[in-house]
Amino acid sequence: MLLAALVRCGREPVRVRRLPMRMLWAWESPQDLRFLHQGEGVAFLAGELRLEGSSTRWVPRRNPLWVNPGTVLLAVLRVESRAAQLTEAQSQALIERASGLLSLPQVRGLQIDFDARDSERAFYVRALKGLRSRLPEATPLSITALASWCLEDDWLSQAGLSGVVDEAVPMFFRMGNEAGSIRRRLGQGVRFREPLSRFSAGISTDEPLPRLSRGRRVYAFHPGRWTAEAWAQISRELP
């Protein structure tokens, strides 16, 4: 209840405040990130959960990741669905796989990456609530969010996820046909309807940066392998 109240009154939840304000997304390719400085973190793809029909298949990360001993890590679980029946067993599989990632070295929290369709939202909400009940109280739980969820919709909070999820990171890249409209609205300073998405942003090094306010936690994506030069360049462009 306290965490939900903090989101409503405009303060970032306590759990997620322990995360660095600049996070690098490390996706499925070999990544040597030992060039990062103290106070910079990594959200790395730990594996993908594929839901198809009534079946569930886990595909773990296949490529190496090198980081410094003190680097704060978030383990990212990607969910892909294809004509999934969204059964209780599939929900439990998501919960078990995600919570199990906390045993990986240096992992401080979790991030779930699922572009849930309207018909999948109820399933996703149940799984997130079940996952939160399995996590230690201080463990941050982050999710990615389509930009449209944050600007035009507040279904996450309406579904009772304030206090369950600590942040919903709006992804301001790969936005498809809505990209131009969304960028114009951001440039005009349009306020986010979704409270959970007001403290973070997801950007990519190969697309124009949206207008970002200071004080947001930024997650940066880079296609392929990160380099120190690519990270330094995008860091200079951030507010």
- Per-residue pLDDT reduced to its tens digit, 72-88: 999 999 999 999 999 99
Instruction: Give the chain's residues under pLDDT 70.
Output: 1-10, 175, 179-180, 188, 190
Residues 6+ apart with CB under 8 A from 107: 73, 74, 75, 101
- Per-residue pLDDT reduced to its tens digit, 34-86: 999 999 999 999 999 999 999 999 999 999 999 999 999 999 999 999 999 99
**Pairing assessment for the beta strands 107-113 and 141-146 based on DSSP bridges:** parallel
Domains annotated for the chain, with CATH where assigned, are 2-237 (3.20.20)
What rounded mean pLDDT belongs to the chain? 91
pTM value > 0.85: yes
Distance CA 63, CA 7 (A): 36
Please give the structure tokens belonging to residue 202: 């997801």
